[in-house]
Chains A and B, each alone.
Chain A
Amino acid sequence: DAGITQSPRHKVTETGTPVTLRCHQTENHRYMYWYRQDPGHGLRLIHYSYGVKDTDKGEVSDGYSVSRSKTEDFLLTLESATSSQTSVYFCAISSLAGGTDTQYFGPGTRLTVL
């Protein structure tokens, strides 16, 4: 299994509070991704990173920001959480080494915004 951890694994917060989720990898992979999973929508890409300090928006980036100051950590921040951001958040990594485009996923963070 790819070495990916996410913290916290569960979080309950209130509307309007800031929240930061952390993804940590031990694989030294260049690419990291944040997805959210909601019933009836599958997984949707929020933001991704293609290197330290290099990030870009995905399909559902509104209300989210990210940062990557070192290879192993990718942070997702909800500046002011809303109930519509209640979801399960997954981090993924890939290396593209040898041309492979496979992504490997972390265990997820269940976020509830009251």
Chain B
Amino acid sequence: GDSVTQMEGPVTLSEEAFLTINCTYTATGYPSLFWYVQYPGEGLQLLLKATKADDKGSNKGFEATYRKETTSFHLEKGSVQVSDSAVYFCALASSGAGSYQLTFGKGTKLSVIP
């Protein structure tokens, strides 16, 4: 079945450091790929998405490129801020019986220190 593997955390960075969170996937067909972010005590928010190979999703300074040849969707940000501290989830959407279903990675907790 479909699966998502993302780097285990926690990840601790200093403010203004470069961030990479690796995500690879296994799926049949051509799934859409997502990054969701969860701030403490809150639900998940969509951060960015890409729907086909070589698409780049971007939002709030975060970027991720859909690489079909390496089945990857790594999340990057050039300069992190304390406010980026959160848990980040990589996910893919696959079609099922009458719906799309999301398969999530286990999440990577990011802490940014001043």
Task: Tell me the A residues contacting B by CB distance below 8 Å.
Answer: 31, 33, 40-45, 48, 50-51, 54, 56, 58, 90, 92, 94, 96, 101-108
Contact = CB atoms under 8 A, between A and B. Distances in A.
A96 B104 contact: no
Contact of B43 (A50, A102, A106): A106
Interface in B67-109: 89, 93, 96-102, 104-107
Contacts of A41: 106
B17 interface: no
B100 A94 contact: yes
Given A42-B105, A43-B104, A101-B32, A107 B99 contact: no
Q: For the side of the interface on B, what is the size category?
A: 20 to 34
A102 B49 contact: yes
A45 B46 CA distance: 17
A61 to B, nearest CB: 13
Interface of B: 32, 34, 36, 42-46, 49, 89, 93, 96-102, 104-107
A50 B98 contact: yes
A50 B44 CA distance: 21
A28 to B, nearest CB: 16
A102 B34 contact: yes
B14 to A, nearest CB: 26
B105 to A, nearest CB: 6
Nearest to B32: A101
B92 to A, nearest CB: 10
A10 B102 CA distance: 25
A107 B97 contact: no
A104 B107 CA distance: 17
Nearest to B89: A42
Contact of B98 (A43, A54, A92, A105): A54
